[in-house]
Amino acid sequence: MVPLIDVMLVLLIIFMVTAPLLTHSVKIDLPRAASTEEVPKPGNIELTLDAQGQVYWNGQVVLQQEWQAKMADAAKTTPQPEVRIRADGELAYRKVVQVMSDAASAGLSRIGFVTDPRQTRESPQQ
């Protein structure tokens, strides 16, 4: 019984160490709009632009040449994936337009924006 408990404790420690590494989200301040929450599909491309202008392709930092090459490859697939742009509200609009322009010139036609859903009931003013 004691060896089994030792194995379980080792497995617990392994899972506690690796679990934080599995989440690769980027904290950004999204603009608010009237939208509904939608579950992302596995084939879609999630492009995240943070306040400093860094671009993340499905959670991984990419440079401009890298995302342009990946967009060209994605445009060749059938059916074409949807590009979902998640941009920080403090980011300059020209950076968002640059990414949209790169996607359009690569041949990707399904481009969407991700926003924070606005609450249906407004909170009372204080």
User: Per-residue pLDDT tens for 8-23?
Assistant: 999 998 888 887 766 6
| Confidence category of residue 121, pLDDT binned at 50, 70, 90 | very low
Report DSSP state, residue 78.
S
Residue 109 one-letter amino acid? S
Total domains in the fold of the chain:
1
Within a domain: 2: no
Q: Which domain holds residue 77?
A: 32-117
User: What is the DSSP-derived secondary structure letter of residue 24?
Assistant: -
Nearest C-alpha neighbor of 115 from the set 21, 33, 48, 22: 33
**Helices and strands per DSSP (H, E), number in the chain:** 3, 7
Which alpha helices (DSSP H) does 23-109 contain, by range?
Answer: 64-75, 93-106
State the CATH number of the domain containing residue 52: 3.30.420.270
| Within a domain: 16 | no
Which pTM value belongs to this model? 0.61
Render pLDDT for 22-60 as a digit per residue (tens, 0 to 9): 666 666 666 566 656 666 566 788 888 988 888 999 888
pLDDT digits (tens, 9 = 90+) for 47-96: 889 888 889 998 889 988 998 898 888 888 888 888 888 888 888 888 88
Does the residue 83 lie in any domain?
yes
